[in-house]
Structure 1
Amino acid sequence: MKIIKTLKNAKGVLLCVPLSIALYGCQQLPPKAVVANADAELDAPVKKVGNQQLLVRGPSGEGVIPVFASGDINAVAPDVTKVFIVIHGTLRNADTYFATGQQILAGAGSLGKGTMMVAPQFLTAPDVNAFSLPARSLAWTQEGWKGGEAAVGPVPLSSFAALDALLEHFADKRRYPALSSVVLMGHSAGAQILQRYAVVGRADPILTRAHIDLRYVVANPSSYLYFSDERPDSQALAGGACPEATKWKYQLKDGPEYVSAQNVKTLESDYAARNVVYLLGEADTDPYKHFIDRSCAGMSQGPYRLARGRAYFDYMKKRHPAHLKQKVVMVPGVGHDNLKMFTSNCGMAVLFGQPTPKTCPVITGAK
């Protein structure tokens, strides 16, 4: 059996250490300089903060998150027919992802007419302090926002609750009377939170009642939420070799309060029926770069992001052979690059609901 051990560095980042045959080629720790540079990059405050705010309410109180948007999100917008919500990566650089969104609209021509681009921002305490933001500004830990954990201040609201609030905001027909579709899109860490939100999020029925179509575009995440102990490497979880892999955020067990308060028995079937597109870069095959999850839980899903995405879709097809409303769209020649992924011909077709070019391999859930 392939066995590995996990250790944490001073910042709590899981590192992969081989004990015998390395799982999926996890052969050595990254050099100390690489780890140090990554830690410094993660800890550095963001360079920009969104210039609009979204109010998030919950049983524990209320707070706000920053938002970049191509229009005033609080104004009545009778001409908005589509909303694209793009979620940033691990560096919390919503400005970069909003710029990607603007390039998407610039290249869309008439397809982009009536589309509002929105980029919410999940900040950490150092971000809030660096910009002297108002006391009600929500802040999460560096890893916490990706998995729906409660904010560390000023009130313990889940990052999933913030996405609920965002979708509920756009479901308001008094403000957006012509809105007919919302696309939630995320790349890398943004795709991590998005894939898990697509499983546990509570706003989907609200949009359905408002006759607003909701599509999830999950691009190159580092890991996925599974519903059982099955993994691509059948030995990875055997004999309790990696107990972390059987818990949140890799499975539903021991999830945050937002998750555990729900009827987890129905979550998988609801997820299988949701319109989810896994947008995968065919060149996203580097097993070390871009903050990829190299814990035993992450490595149990595959050696790199492309393999993990393909394996996860195979898993979902196996579990839902007749009713899987999901598909994989491959982007040839693109690696771990949010701009190239979303502005590719394949990405643009997915985002705007157009026929996928023949150059973009598609794998569907149909038999």
Structure 2
Amino acid sequence: MKKWLLVLLFTCATSQAAEQGVKELSPGRLLLKSGEIAVGISPAPAKIERVLIIVHGRLRNAQSYLQSGNRAAELAGQRDSTLVIAPQFLNETDVEKHPVADTVLRWQGNEWMAGGESTAPFRMSSFEALDEIIARLGDRQQFPDVKQIVIAGHSGGAQVVQRYALLGHDQSALEAAGVKLRYVIANPSSYGYFDERRPVAFNHAACPDFNRWKYGLTDLPAYADGQTAAQLQEKYLKRDVVYLLGQQDTDPNHPALDKSCEAKAQGPNRLARGRFYFNYLKRLQPQGLNQQLIEVPGVGHNGGGMLTSPEGQKALFDQSPGLSAPTHSRAGSLPQ
């Protein structure tokens, strides 16, 4: 067992919450520099060559996503070399409903989804927490065999991953160690744009916040540390990002779809918004975009179906620069 994994304090904290709180607490506690974050983690293989960090959505159901990540690794034949980690971004309601130590990070509402800072036991951006996790995994003394770190999310989790890819600090130590970092973004409700252009016409006067963070780059969180739009765009376009879109995720009235004017300006449904955003990026990088869009046929807004499909397995576990889109998908279920 790797030294770093020994700092996980496992408990039997799984319980049912009231409607307003998370249903299940993750059993692990991962020590960061100044506190702990709830986390689920798979059994560590003898030789860890890839780490899959899978981010839950607004339901904060990290254990469900941990199971889905493990299943995807198993289907792809990668369980013997992949460690799956599922951080859990608890909020104040969760800690009111469950016995949670004062040392465990928690956020207000869904502020963690856009890089907001924790409310206790100290102030830390959810993106800074991800930075720390990734930096640990790149430590060659503790993880000498890691070649790739993949951070993935579906729906609300995909919104987190996309914004983190946009604002995330450079990981120079990873580059020096030869560790590749990939972002897999599956079926988010919206994306962060770099300027005021949008694919759908809308009334600007009736939608004054269309370009405010998290939809645009106005009023960025403190984590952004004064970076300009040009700097963020240049950095983002260089990153290894895979957009994974379900071809059946086309319901404009889906109950979990963001129906704000800010989101509707990006397209009528998740599939359209993803296609529009990818085309927008290609216009920003006319000499050739080093990112990929893969569509999953026969799957709608279904996290398990997306991540365990052949297309999802390819996105999560293939390190090659060019991905071809297979023509089949695998069923599954996972809520947002």
- Give the TM-score normalised by structure 1: 0.80
Tell me how far apart the structure 1 counterparts of residues 161 and 325 of structure 2 sit (CA, whole Å).
25
* Residue of structure 2 in register with 1:50 after alignment: 26
Matches within 5 A, 1:245-264: 245-264=210-229
Residue 193 to residue 242, structure 1, CA distance change in 2 (3 Å): same
Verify the 8 A CA contact 2:106 2:120 in the aligned structure 1. yes
Provide the aligned length of Structure 1 versus Structure 2.
Answer: 310
* Residue of structure 2 in register with 1:202 after alignment: 169
Verify the 8 A CA contact 1:83 1:183 in the aligned structure 2. yes
1:147 aligns with 2:114: yes
Tell me how far apart the structure 1 counterparts of residues 18 and 290 of structure 2 sit (CA, whole Å).
35
Residue 357 to residue 318, structure 1, CA distance change in 2 (3 Å): closer
* Residue of structure 2 in register with 1:69 after alignment: 41
* Residue of structure 2 in register with 1:119 after alignment: 86
Tell me how far apart the structure 2 counterparts of residues 137 and 256 of structure 1 sit (CA, whole Å).
22
1:141-165 Cα offsets, whole Å, 9 max, x none, are 2220110011122222111011101
Verify the 8 A CA contact 1:158 1:258 in the aligned structure 2. yes
Looking at CA atoms only, which structure, 1 or 2, has the larger radius of gyration?
1
- Tell me the CA shift for residue 94 of structure 1: 0.3
Verify the 8 A CA contact 1:290 1:336 in the aligned structure 2. no
Verify the 8 A CA contact 1:78 1:175 in the aligned structure 2. no
1:315 aligns with 2:287: no
Tell me how far apart the structure 2 counterparts of residues 78 and 113 of structure 1 sit (CA, whole Å).
8
Equivalent position amino acid for 1:307 in 2: A
1:236 aligns with 2:202: yes
What secondary structure is seen at the aligned counterpart in 2 of 1:218? Answer: strand
- Aligned Cα root-mean-square deviation (Å): 2.0
Equivalent position amino acid for 2:309 in 1: S
1:275-296 Cα offsets, whole Å, 9 max, x none, are 0000000000111224211111
1:231-276 Cα offsets, whole Å, 9 max, x none, are 011x3254x3311111111111101111143344311011001000
- Tell me the CA shift for residue 336 of structure 1: 0.5
Tell me how far apart the structure 2 counterparts of residues 339 and 42 of structure 1 sit (CA, whole Å).
25
Verify the 8 A CA contact 2:46 2:80 in the aligned structure 1. no
What secondary structure is seen at the aligned counterpart in 1 of 2:174? Answer: helix
Verify the 8 A CA contact 1:273 1:323 in the aligned structure 2. no
1:107 aligns with 2:75: yes
Equivalent position amino acid for 2:131 in 1: D
Verify the 8 A CA contact 2:310 2:326 in the aligned structure 1. no
Tell me how far apart the structure 2 counterparts of residues 261 and 54 of structure 1 sit (CA, whole Å).
29
Tell me how far apart the structure 1 counterparts of residues 154 and 20 of structure 2 sit (CA, whole Å).
20
1:83 aligns with 2:51: yes
Deviates more, 1:93-102 or 1:46-55: 46-55
- Tell me the CA shift for residue 114 of structure 1: 1.0
Verify the 8 A CA contact 2:73 2:313 in the aligned structure 1. no
Structure 1's unaligned 5+ residue stretches are 1-40, 362-367
Tell me how far apart the structure 2 counterparts of residues 44 and 191 of structure 1 sit (CA, whole Å).
22
Tell me how far apart the structure 2 counterparts of residues 211 and 55 of structure 1 sit (CA, whole Å).
25
* Residue of structure 2 in register with 1:179 after alignment: 146
Tell me how far apart the structure 1 counterparts of residues 141 and 203 of structure 2 sit (CA, whole Å).
50
Residue 320 to residue 360, structure 1, CA distance change in 2 (3 Å): farther
Tell me how far apart the structure 2 counterparts of residues 213 and 80 of structure 1 sit (CA, whole Å).
14
* Residue of structure 2 in register with 1:227 after alignment: 194
- Tell me the CA shift for residue 208 of structure 1: 1.2
Which of 164, 174, 183 matches 2:131? Answer: 164
Matches within 5 A, 1:129-144: 129-144=96-111
Tell me how far apart the structure 2 counterparts of residues 257 and 222 of structure 1 sit (CA, whole Å).
23
* Residue of structure 2 in register with 1:27 after alignment: none
Tell me how far apart the structure 2 counterparts of residues 206 and 225 of structure 1 sit (CA, whole Å).
26
1:184-238 Cα offsets, whole Å, 9 max, x none, are 11000100010010011115333212210111100000100000110011x3254
Matches within 5 A, 1:232-311: 232-233=199-200, 235-236=201-202, 238=204, 240-311=205-276
Verify the 8 A CA contact 2:194 2:229 in the aligned structure 1. no
Identity of paired residues, percent? 40
1:11-66 Cα offsets, whole Å, 9 max, x none, are xxxxxxxxxxxxxxxxxxxxxxxxxxxxxx99622222222222334xxxx33211
Tell me how far apart the structure 2 counterparts of residues 357 and 187 of structure 1 sit (CA, whole Å).
18
Verify the 8 A CA contact 1:214 1:275 in the aligned structure 2. yes
- Tell me the CA shift for residue 174 of structure 1: 0.9
Matches within 5 A, 1:2-13: none
